[in-house]
Amino acid sequence: MGDKVTLIEADSLKATDGGYQFNVRLNWYRSLPLSSLEKFALALDGQPVPLEAVRFSYGGREYEFGELDEQVETFWFVQDGLEIRVRQPGQVRRGERHELAVEYALRFPYIAIGPGRFLTNTSRHTATQVAG
C-alpha cells in the first residue's frame, strides 16, 4: 500500500556543496503552471530561511521565486517533486538530522471565486529528515 503524500517528500533532504536541497509535492490533483505558486516560506531548524537563498528547480531549469510568475507554460506534474535548492553553505551535512518547515500557497487558475480572484489554498508541513 502507498504512503500518504506529504508536502515535503520523504527522505528527500540532501546536503549539497552550497547548502542543501529537498523536494516538495504538489498538493492538488492536476498539474499546475509554476506561476500558480503564490507564496513560499521555509524554516530550517526553526530559523526562517530568506527567500533569496532559495531556488526552485524543475524540468532541468532553476528559478528564483520572483521568476516563477512568468512560468505560465511550465507545468508541475502531479507525480513530480519540485526541487528546492537552498544556498546556505555548511548548514546541513550528510548524516545530520534537521527539521524542515514549509508553507506554500497555490492559486488554482481555473477556479474563479470572484472577479479576477481565484481559489488559493495554503498548505503547511514540518518534517525531520536525515540528510543524504
Its sign, for the CA torsion 24, 28, 30, 32, is negative
Instruction: Please give the single-letter amino acid code of residue 47.
Output: Q
Q: How far is the CB of 128 from other proteins (least distance, A)?
A: 21
**Residue 88 bridge partners (DSSP):** none
123 forms part of the interface with other proteins (CB under 8 A): no
Give how far the C-alpha of residue 107 lies from the chain's centroid of Cα atoms, to the nearest Å.
14
**Residue 128 bridge partners (DSSP):** 99
Strands 61-63 and 37-44: unpaired
What distances in angstroms separate CA 88 from CA 8, 33, 48, 70, one per listed residue? 19, 28, 12, 26
Build a one-symbol-per-residue string for 31-70: x at contacts with other proteins by CB under 8 A, - elsewhere. Answer: xxx-xx-x------------------------------x-
| Segment near other proteins (CB under 8 A); pick from 25-33, 41-49, 89-97, 98-106 | 25-33
3 forms part of the interface with other proteins (CB under 8 A): yes
| Segment near other proteins (CB under 8 A); pick from 16-24, 40-48, 96-104, 115-123 | 115-123
17 forms part of the interface with other proteins (CB under 8 A): no
Per CB under 8 A, residues contacting other proteins are: 1-5, 25, 29-33, 35-36, 38, 69, 72, 75, 77-79, 107-110, 112-113, 116, 118, 122
